[in-house]
Amino acid sequence: MYEKVSPKEFFNKVLAGTATGIIVGLIPNAVLAAILGLFGDNPAALFITHVVVIFQVATPLLIGALIALQFGFAPLDMAIVAGAAYVGSGVTKFNPEVINPVTKAPGMLISAGTGDLINTMITASLAIILTYLIGNKLGSVKIVLSPILIGAGSGLIGLVILPYISYITTAIGNMINSFTNLQPLLMSALIASFFAVLIISPISTVAIGLAIQLNGVSAGAAAMGVAATTIVLVVHSWKTNKSGITIAIAAGAMKMMMPNLFRYPIILLPTLTTAIISSIPVALLKVSGTAQSAGFGLVGLVGPLKSMDMGDASINIITALIVWFAVPIAAALLSRFVFGKMLHLYDEKEVFAYLA
């Protein structure tokens, strides 16, 4: 028998499994990428880099398994949901234009990134629902038919709807892109605010940045939005969560706080305030970036390093430390004091406590 859950419980379980899966899948590459990059073309460093990148590609698989675990599924059902989530994520796609180096035939399956997170969650949810509906009705042939009907079936539906779900990312990207025509201060504030929210939502900030090809100050503002959220979460987490959670957030696993965003939207108050304040020096000093750096923020120090590479002479290491760390940290601490301690609008030990 499977545990009966309400729609709200179902949604929370999916979010919780997704948040944990993101941590497990992304942390190795997020933590080691910057360190390994210091070794250049060293064969051992490159080999380890390949390992953590491949591990990151498996993120949808991990998410599917951990969502199934939230529902108390048996190993067989868990494996089926995991496989369906991986397929539906689109992390592996068939590219007919690539020539197979072994067979010389056109077309290869190519894996890259982490797939579409929203579609991963939808596909896993579909597999969960089908498992509830079919359950043990297949009897002795369950081990044969369940992977086909539930696993491959859900994965097939996931791939069919993937292009349509991806329109969500495209629509958000187009809206953000329209901000680049605004006055610099307003543009920086709006872009930073949107990316500050997106990094703790199911939407990929990296995908948005690449999709709309943000560059210059707009890319710098986007990266600052991500950085601001990172710092806000760290500031509110260090006395609330275990040290491992805080370290994971600092290393780049901000999306693990997705359940908190949906359950306690009040966390957007200090997040957006910090993002807006932090965006001011971005506009004034013309802190720049690229489409590749826009969605990373402080992860691997991508944002600060890219701004030093692209900015004018005024963006040196001292300026970068002030812009990327001193200002956001001061803004985050001020927001925490005003909203949490002075106005008592939220209890950080409740709204910022890791829920997964």
Domain boundaries of the chain, sorted by first residue: 7-167, 182-351
* 52 vs 302: CA distance, rounded Å: 18
Residues in the chain: 356
Contacts of residue 41, defined as CB under 8 A and 6 or more positions apart, other chains included, come to none
- Which of these, 249, 190, 194, lies nearest to 23 by C-alpha position? 249
* 218 vs 62: CA distance, rounded Å: 33
Structure tokens at 242: 């275990």
Contact between 70 and 13 under an 8 Å Cβ cutoff? The reply is yes
Total Cβ atoms within 10 A of residue 24: 19
Q: Which range among 46-60, 111-125, 197-211 shows the weakest confidence by mean pLDDT?
A: 197-211
Contacts of residue 79, defined as CB under 8 A and 6 or more positions apart, other chains included, come to 65, 147
Dump pLDDT digits (tens) for 101-157: 878 888 888 988 888 888 999 999 999 999 999 978 888 899 999 999 999 999 999
Q: Give the pLDDT band of residue 39 (cuts 50, 70, 90).
A: confident
The pLDDT of residue 313: 52
The pTM of the full predicted model, rounded to 2 decimals, is 0.80
Q: Give the pLDDT band of residue 231 (cuts 50, 70, 90).
A: very high
Dump pLDDT digits (tens) for 303-356: 898 888 875 556 789 999 999 999 999 999 999 999 999 999 999 999 999 986
Q: Which range among 34-38, 157-161, 260-264, 345-349 shows the weakest confidence by mean pLDDT?
A: 34-38
User: 355 by DSSP, 3-state: which?
Assistant: coil
* 127 vs 129: CA distance, rounded Å: 5
Tell me which H or E stretch contains 98: strand 92-99
Structure tokens at 95: 């590219």
Give the mean model confidence (pLDDT) for residues 271-300.
Answer: 91
Letter for the amino acid at 255? Answer: K
Rounded to 10 degrees, the C-alpha dihedral 89/200/301/169 comes to: 50
Rounded to 10 degrees, the C-alpha dihedral 220/225/229/235 comes to: 60
Structure tokens at 36: 């390994």
Q: Which range among 61-75, 195-209, 231-245 shows the weakest confidence by mean pLDDT?
A: 195-209
Contacts of residue 179, defined as CB under 8 A and 6 or more positions apart, other chains included, come to 186, 187, 190, 191, 194, 218
* 126 vs 136: CA distance, rounded Å: 17
* 207 vs 115: CA distance, rounded Å: 10
Give the mean model confidence (pLDDT) for residues 156-163.
Answer: 96
The pLDDT of residue 41: 87
The pLDDT of residue 305: 86
